[in-house]
């Protein structure tokens, strides 16, 4: 029988209070969790299959990992919705994140239906909020261009062009955080395989951080770029994913991972500032030059 989460929470609190002193010190982060709420407000429009605490816990863990990029602007709201088929989104400019629980798509192939697969997707969307906040602080051109996208006027083609380039950085980072948070380079791939609004599977496989074979994958990637414009931003930096994940696998402490993610954002801010000013956003140049930039930083991930 399922134990109501409130009872579990109360039990955890009691257990924390009654733990012997040395063990209590070791358990401090867990106890603390019970009295801290996430930076964003969580709200549920429907009765989800997972308790709100499960989702709040993911938000809280992202807060801990990305706190050096914040604070988020006040009023961020994360809402569990039931707009079937709409997937999940971070809505630029309005401080809204909406997501749905994973249901039964692809179940006919797999027999798998697990709402926990929603958690990496929530971490992905919430990471967008932190990334946008940090990039606006670090790159004046990002601030200018991204703010322009929030305006209700402007040349639609120009806006589309700016949005596509900004999204390349955004989607890379928003996929990196769940991979680190769940210690699984396939976290997003596994989640999206079962999501009803998934983009085609042929693009999802390129969001795996652990597998990339240039001799096999490059031609396929370029072929997708020519045929599926809407998905390009998710996989444009696929070659860079593999080399960066090699660096992640060398880091073990929470502080090291936090420092690493901060350096990733700083590198991206510098790269965007230069590229939007006078550089090239070509696939080959971006992947090569960013890899070189990260290699220069590789020995200094944890320096402050
Ligand atoms: Zn995204």
What's the pLDDT tens digit per position in 13-52? 333 333 333 333 344 444 455 556 789 999 998 888 899 9
CB 170 within 8 A of CB 130: no
Q: Is 282 left (phi over 0), alpha (psi -120 to 50) or beta?
A: beta
Whether residue 135 is contained in a domain is answered as: yes
pTM of the model: 0.85
Least confident of 67-81, 216-230, 246-260: 216-230
DSSP string, 209-248: SS---HHHHHHHHHHHHHH-GGGHHHHTTHHHHHHHHHHH
Percent pLDDT > 70 in the chain is: 77
CB 126 within 8 A of CB 78: yes
Whether residue 106 is contained in a domain is answered as: yes
Q: Structural domain tally of the chain? A: 1
Whether residue 28 is contained in a domain is answered as: no
CB 31 within 8 A of CB 16: yes
- What is the CA(174)–ligand 1 centre distance, in A? 6
Per residue in 122-137, pLDDT (tens digit) is 999 999 999 999 999 9
Whether residue 6 is contained in a domain is answered as: no
CB 131 within 8 A of CB 142: no
Q: In which band, very low, low, confident or very high, does the pLDDT at 102 lie, cut at 50, 70 and 90? A: confident
- How far does CA 225 lie from the centroid of its chain? 22
Q: In which band, very low, low, confident or very high, does the pLDDT at 90 lie, cut at 50, 70 and 90? A: confident
Taking CA atoms, 268 is separated from 43, 65, 139, 147, 287, in Å, by: 32, 18, 9, 18, 12
Whether residue 248 is contained in a domain is answered as: yes
- What is the CA(168)–ligand 1 centre distance, in A? 10
Residue 191: per-residue pLDDT: 85
Whether residue 82 is contained in a domain is answered as: yes
- What is the CA(15)–ligand 1 centre distance, in A? 38
Which range marks the domain in which residue 186 is found?
36-300
- What is the CA(23)–ligand 1 centre distance, in A? 40
Residue 189 pLDDT exceeds 60? yes
- What is the CA(175)–ligand 1 centre distance, in A? 7
- H or E stretch including 64? helix 52-66
CB 56 within 8 A of CB 249: no
Looking at per-residue confidence, does 159 or 11 come out higher? 159
- What is the CA(172)–ligand 1 centre distance, in A? 8
- H or E stretch including 41? strand 41-44
Percent pLDDT > 90 in the chain is: 55
Q: Cβ-count burial of 208 within 10 angstroms (0-12 exposed, 13-18 middle, 19+ buried)? A: buried
Residue written as tokens 């257990």? 15
Whether residue 294 is contained in a domain is answered as: yes
């Amino acid at each position: 029988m399922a134990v109501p989460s409130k009872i579990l929470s109360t039990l955890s609190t009691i257990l924390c209070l009654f733990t012997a002193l040395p063990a209590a010190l070791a358990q401090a982060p867990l106890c603390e969790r019970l009295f801290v709420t996430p930076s964003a407000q969580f709200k549920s429009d429907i009765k989800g299959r997972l308790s709100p605490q499960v989702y709040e816990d993911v938000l809280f863990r992202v807060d801990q990992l990305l706190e050096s990029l914040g604070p988020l602007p006040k009023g961020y709201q994360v809402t569990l919705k039931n707009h079937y088929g709409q997937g999940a989104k971070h809505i630029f400019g309005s401080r809204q994140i909406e997501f749905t629980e994973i249901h039964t798509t692809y179940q006919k192939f797999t027999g798998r239906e697990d709402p926990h697969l929603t958690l990496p997707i929530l971490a992905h969307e919430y990471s967008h909020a932190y990334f946008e906040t940090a990039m606006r602080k670090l790159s004046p051109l990002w601030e200018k261009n991204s703010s322009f996208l929030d305006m209700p006027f402007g040349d639609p083609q120009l806006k589309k062009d700016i949005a596509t380039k900004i999204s390349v950085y955004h989607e890379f980072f928003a996929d990196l955080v769940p991979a680190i948070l769940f210690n699984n380079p396939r976290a997003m791939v596994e989640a999206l395989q079962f999501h009803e609004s998934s983009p085609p599977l042929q693009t999802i496989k390129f969001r795996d951080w652990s597998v990339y074979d240039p001799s096999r994958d490059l031609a396929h990637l370029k072929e997708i770029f020519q045929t599926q414009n809407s998905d390009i931003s998710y996989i444009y930096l696929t070659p860079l994913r593999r080399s960066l994940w090699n660096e992640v696998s060398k880091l073990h402490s929470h502080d090291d991972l936090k420092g690493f993610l901060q350096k990733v954002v700083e590198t991206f801010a510098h790269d965007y500032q230069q590229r939007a000013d006078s550089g090239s956003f070509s696939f080959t140049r971006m992947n090569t030059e960013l890899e070189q930039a990260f290699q220069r930083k590789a020995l200094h991930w944890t320096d402050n």
